[in-house]
Amino acid sequence: MIAPDRLALGIEPNSSLSVLDMMKCAQLAEKKGFAATWVAEGRGGEVFALLSALAAGTSRMRLGAGILSVFVRSPWIVAAGAATVDEVSGGRFMLGLGAGHKSVTEDRYGLAYDRPTQRMREVANIVRRALSGEPVNVEGEIFRLSGAQLSRRPVRSDVPIYIAATGERVLELAGEIADGAFLMFPTENSLRTSWQHIGDGARRANRDPGEVDIVAYVFTCVAAERRAAIESCRRTIAYFGRLPHYNSLFARDGFPRETERLKDAWAQNDEARAMRAVTDEMVLALSATGTPDDIALRLDALLQAGLKQAVLFPISADGDAKSAILRTIEFLS
């Protein structure tokens, strides 16, 4: 049995759940001893508002924005939102920052996608300085602030900041400036190389690499029939295979041929071909899939490989998102 304090619940960015349903799921996760709930932002709702609602319905578990794109808000609004949710939750908030994806940033938000790593560095710096309660004066490559100051001192100046990372440069940045790195589709191989890059960044900043956590979204599908679970996760992996970041990640983790097939399929907008490109081996390596025992074994392997916290992203095998979350929490607690 996995210790529940090594587990967290993830609520996906395009969730169809109502805010009340999300609250009920978070409440059950808290009751079962889960350490945190992370809410991803996409088309499902504004993340600071959602986390404020979850804060009102929970009392102990930590609450994370995971992940918030550094392109869609000014760093000052990020700092104000972080201070607000941290106050509402009684100091339980965690901030996850990421660059997102070029296509999403430009097509959905209508914003330019430029210098993502530098932007993350500057946003993290401004947020930390703003949360000190002191005036912020910054002359960065991207942002320039003069005398900016929150109207009242935040309840904490040390809100944990996690940086979403798939590539070497961003992992090194996490080691250099963040409290943790946030991964997607973790494997034993990606955890090993992530720790190496985090260590390089930490040592460059004269930090102890042990000060940096690694957490990760683990796509999880539990079902009585293993085959049904595999098919559900196959669809999810194929969907993420449309995006260049994840294409590169899949190839590095030992699936270069499958990745090329995914690229070819999506170039033709052929979802059926994309599904066929994702092998069973790929599904089992990139997710926690199958019976409760299968999932417990996979999660244990990832935790043994250096993952500090597995953020479960439940996938429904039958189309019922809320039931998938509740079932996953019950089976793994």
pLDDT in tens, 57-112: 999 999 999 999 999 999 999 999 999 999 999 999 999 999 988 888 888 889 88
Could you give the domains of the chain? 1-164 (3.20.20.30)
d(CA 242, CA 263): 7
pTM of the complete model: 0.95
3-state secondary structure (DSSP) of residue 19: helix
Q: Worst-scoring range by mean pLDDT, 171-185, 188-202, 217-231, 263-277?
A: 217-231
In this predicted structure, the answer to whether residue 196 has a pLDDT above a threshold of 80 is yes
Rounded CA gap, 309 and 325, in Å? 17
Q: Using one digit for the tens of pLDDT, what is the confidence trace for 232-253?
A: 999 999 999 999 889 999 999 9
CB atoms within 10 A of CB 280: 14
Kindly report, residue by residue over 121-144, the tens digit of the pLDDT. Answer: 999 999 999 999 999 999 999 999
User: What does the alpha-carbon distance between residue 138 and residue 183 come to, in Å, rounded to a whole number?
Assistant: 29
